[in-house]
Amino acid sequence: NPVLMRSYGAYGVPTEVDFRVENFPLLERGWIIALPHVRGGSELGRRWYNGGKLLKKKTSMTDFISVAEWLVKTGLTSPRYLSAMGTSAGGLLVGASGCMRPDLFRALVLRVPFIDPLSAMLDPTLPLTQVEYLEWGNPQMDAAAYDYMASYAPYDIIPTVDQLPTATAPSILLSGAVKDQRVNYWQILKYVARTREHLSVIYDNGQPNDTNKPVLLAHIDENFGHFGSGSDQDGRLKESAKELAFLISRVQG
């Protein structure tokens, strides 16, 4: 079965099992929507949240990966049909999981992902850096926080070809916004550039219509901020259509 995993896993925000219109095109095509409740969220209380922040942040990724492995082990899906989506800090979760286990996923959608947290947390002039120390730690003042963040930050752990368990990697669609004050769009462009450098053999900008070959795509919006088109329903539907078309073409194409 094709599967889409979606989670957040940060700030104690729970991943809600809610009604979403954008799930219908997938459900009508036989997809399964999986919502892992990883540590870093508060689905099981305060201890669950505290177990996935600061120097325990990587447990969010290991939880997410464990769910992916369980989905495969139980026969519900296989890496060929497994995809994942994350937004903002959830984009960090999904992006890092994809870097740690690129063999597990067929496609990833990263919406305004916090993809280069170390660079952001080292810049105190950014609007939210100092208030974020309570969630991620202060790599400017704490060497342990610096080293730990570098061990899971997606930008810093992009694998090279010789590190791939198999000779492939997931297709990735990233989105960002020029006016985003929470996740600067340059994080996304840096990530794309380094990924293409490390994995040029895989992401060689080949034919996008070749669904057997992984692609790496990024879309930077010039008009909106961190929350996309906001109350513009037409804009939200267009964003969802783009992401779903990407997932369906990569997983079921």
| pLDDT in single tens digits along all 253 residues of the chain | 999 999 999 999 999 998 888 899 999 999 999 999 999 999 999 999 999 999 999 999 999 999 999 999 999 999 999 999 999 999 999 999 999 999 999 999 999 999 999 999 998 888 778 889 999 999 999 999 999 999 999 999 999 888 887 778 999 999 988 887 788 889 999 999 999 988 888 876 555 556 667 899 999 887 765 566 555 677 788 889 999 999 999 998 7
| pTM, two decimal places | 0.93
- The C-alpha atoms of residue 118 and residue 39 are separated, in whole angstroms, by 20
Quickly list DSSP for 9-78: -STT--------GGGHHHHTTT-EEE----BTB-TT-HHHHHTTSGGGTHHHHHHHHHHHHHHHHTTS--
Catalytically active residues are 88, 180, 226
Helix/strand/coil for 112: coil
Spacing of C-alpha 91 from chain mean position: 3
Per-domain residue ranges of the chain: 3-251
Count Cβ neighbours within 10 Å for each residue of 101-136 and write b for 16 or more, e otherwise. Answer: bbebbbbbbbbbbbbbbbbbbeeeebeebeebbebb
Are 42 and 8 in contact by the 8 Å Cβ rule? The answer is no
Domain covering 3-251 in this structure, CATH number: 3.40.50.1820
